[in-house]
Structure 1
Amino acid sequence: MKSSEAKAGIGFILPFLAGFLIFNLFPLLYAFYISLVDYNTLKPSFNFIGFDNFTRIFHDPIALQAYWSSFLYTLIYVPALIVLSFFLAVLLNRKFFLRPVSRTMILIPYVANVIAIAMVWSMILDPYDGPVNAFLHLIGVQNPPMWLGGTKTALPTIALVNVWQSLSFQTIVFLAALQGVPKELYEASELDGAGRWKKVRNVTIPLVSPTTFFLVITSVIGSFQNYASVRALTNGGPGVASRVISLNIYEEAFTYNRYSYAAAQAILLFGVILVITIIQWRGQKKWVHY
């Protein structure tokens, strides 16, 4: 019996294990190997150079700026996404007219094409002919923001556009967690005289904290991997103002053919994400309630 169960278990996990080894573990190990040699398509060479590619990163101002831009992007994107999606889920969890339709329509930005979204937002946020700045001029704002065209506003603008696009998925996950909160706890808190905000702070937030932790982890990882929207909206510009590390890795590999240097940047990014995830995992004991 145990032998047959073991064989069945192995049979179930074998497809996943094969996919993990082929598409995840092997590329990771190969990328680490590539980062230790001097290889590009113009001069095929696998001469071992050790950690020279990693050392080079810390002397490359563009690469360091790209890491810093990714970090700033994460600081804007993740808190805004978590807070807005939570409160939107709280609103959608209440009974109101056309609630099913509203829950369906909120998924539209998430399933829309990234390039289409970028094109629409580029027109909306056009600093000269866009409707947003036209409205700001109408209400008396003399110097409206340049949005995607400003060195200080491009990265925050991209982060907010991505918050708008990703808001639906996070909201649906929060909504599922909210529906699992026992109504008896709300009734008990009302008997104790708790208002709406106290019920949210003392009942809702602690009980959905495992879901919040999951969404924070996945959002941080996803924010460091953001590439498509940056490429479509600004292509890292103006200058290098919105050049995040994922875009920089792509440019180093497929534009300048410096595959070893790009692999070193990718491995370092993996290390940064790993360290941040470990810190978050250890810090969850202070605020996550299971």
Structure 2
Amino acid sequence: MKSNVKTDKPSIFYRISQLGYREKGTALIFVLPFIIGFIIFNVIPMVYSVVISLMDFNTFKPLSMIKFIGIDNYTRLFNDPIALNAFVKSFIYTLFYVPGLIILSFVMATLLNKTFALRGLTRTLILMPYVANVVAVSIVWSILLDPFGGPINQIIEKLGGTPPMWLSGVKTALPTIAGINVWQSLAFQTIVFLAALQGVNKELYEAADMDGASRFRRLWSITLPAISPTTFFLVITSIIGSFQNYASVRMLTNGGPGTSSRVISLNIYEEAFTLNHYSYASAQAMILFAIVLVITIIQWKGQKRWVHY
């Protein structure tokens, strides 16, 4: 006989679904602090910056007196030679900084990927500039590159050369700052490249050796395609970071001599916190955000031609 008694025991599918809900709830609890922090420190300030860029909040005044002026702050930017020059200087800085950082970090990672004495110690020491305080780094380099009696220029003079002005020269200030920042940022990119190089399939190199491929051929046909996703990531982050180079410029040259190293991040800071032009500074920040966004989108679209996953 068949029993008509029904059991209240939940089905296996019900228990699995309930377990899934509990796991999602637990995951949400762990992620929630980041989401809250991201909203408070990123989303809200960005929305606020967009709003005040459309206002006339360029002097201290009661909030009741702040008026909506549309895109006047944006049109003012295109008639401001100092701001336009700051954007140009930022692009020039990027042209020095990004290729130098990517190339040198790849070369350094390639060297550290080889077996040699004290390799572990060398990998540790390369991190020191990266974790050093930017103010301390700027002070040390200012002393080293002092055009009048600095150690580096003294060595150049003893070797019979003509020392450059470095941070005090109109044409050399911006490349010098880029070089210092490349030196300080080298460790992170090197470590990432090193991890990518160690992940390349060794069988590909063995097959290339059997075919008699040269070192350059192995580099071009195996190594670079294999680490292209890593290269793409580092190029994007380096470009974004190159437009956020306020601290080092402020400490090394403060935009000088003249406006030869006045990049847009420094210009935005001074417009906002020195001249109290909050709306105008926000408009410049929004233009900078749009430029970085466009560059990133172009890179993302162009990755299909050279990035191999």
SS at match of 2:161: coil
8 Å Cα contact 2:58/2:280 also seen in 1? no
1:180 to 196, 199, 203: 199
1:146-176 CA distance string (max 9 Å, x none): 1100111100000000000000110011001
| Over 4 Å off, 4+ runs | none
Shift of 1:190: 0.5
Tell me how far apart the structure 2 counterparts of residues 212 and 256 of structure 1 sit (CA, whole Å): 40
* 2:82 aligned with 1:51: no
* Structure 1 CA distance for aligned equivalents of residues 107 and 211 of structure 2: 24
Cα contact 2:130–2:184 (8 A) shared by 1: yes
Correspondent of 1:100 among 120, 125, 138:
120
| Unmatched segments (≥5 aa) in structure 2 | 1-17
Q: Corresponding residue for 1:10?
A: 28
What pairs up with 1:38-77 in 2 under 5 angstroms?
Answer: 38-44=56-62, 45-77=65-97
1:286 positional shift: 0.5
Alpha-carbon separation, structure 2, partners of 1:85 and 1:237: 29
Q: Which amino acid aligns with 2:208?
A: S
AA partner of residue 17 (structure 1):
I
- The one of 162, 165, 171 aligned to 2:181: 162
**Identical-residue share of aligned pairs (%):** 65
Taking only aligned residues, the RMSD between alpha carbons, in angstroms, comes to 1.1
Q: Which runs of 5+ in 1 are unaligned?
A: none
Matches within 5 A, 1:135-154: 135-142=155-162, 144-154=163-173
Find the aligned partners of 2:134 and 2:56 in 1 and give their Cα distance.
35
CA drift at 1:132: 1.6
1:63 CA drift (Å): 0.3
Residue 13 of structure 1: how far off its partner (Å): 2.9
Show the counterpart of 1:35.
53
SS at match of 1:37: coil
> What does the per-residue CA deviation read over 1:87-139, in whole Å, with 9 as the maximum and x for residues that have no partner?
11000000001000000000000011111111111111111111222122222
Which residue number corresponds to residue 271 of structure 1? 290
The corresponding residue for 1:119 is 139
Q: Provide TM-score, normalisation by structure 2.
A: 0.91
TM-score, L = length of structure 1: 0.97
Give the 3-state SS of the residue equivalent to 1:100 in structure 2: helix
Post-superposition offset of 1:41: 4.9
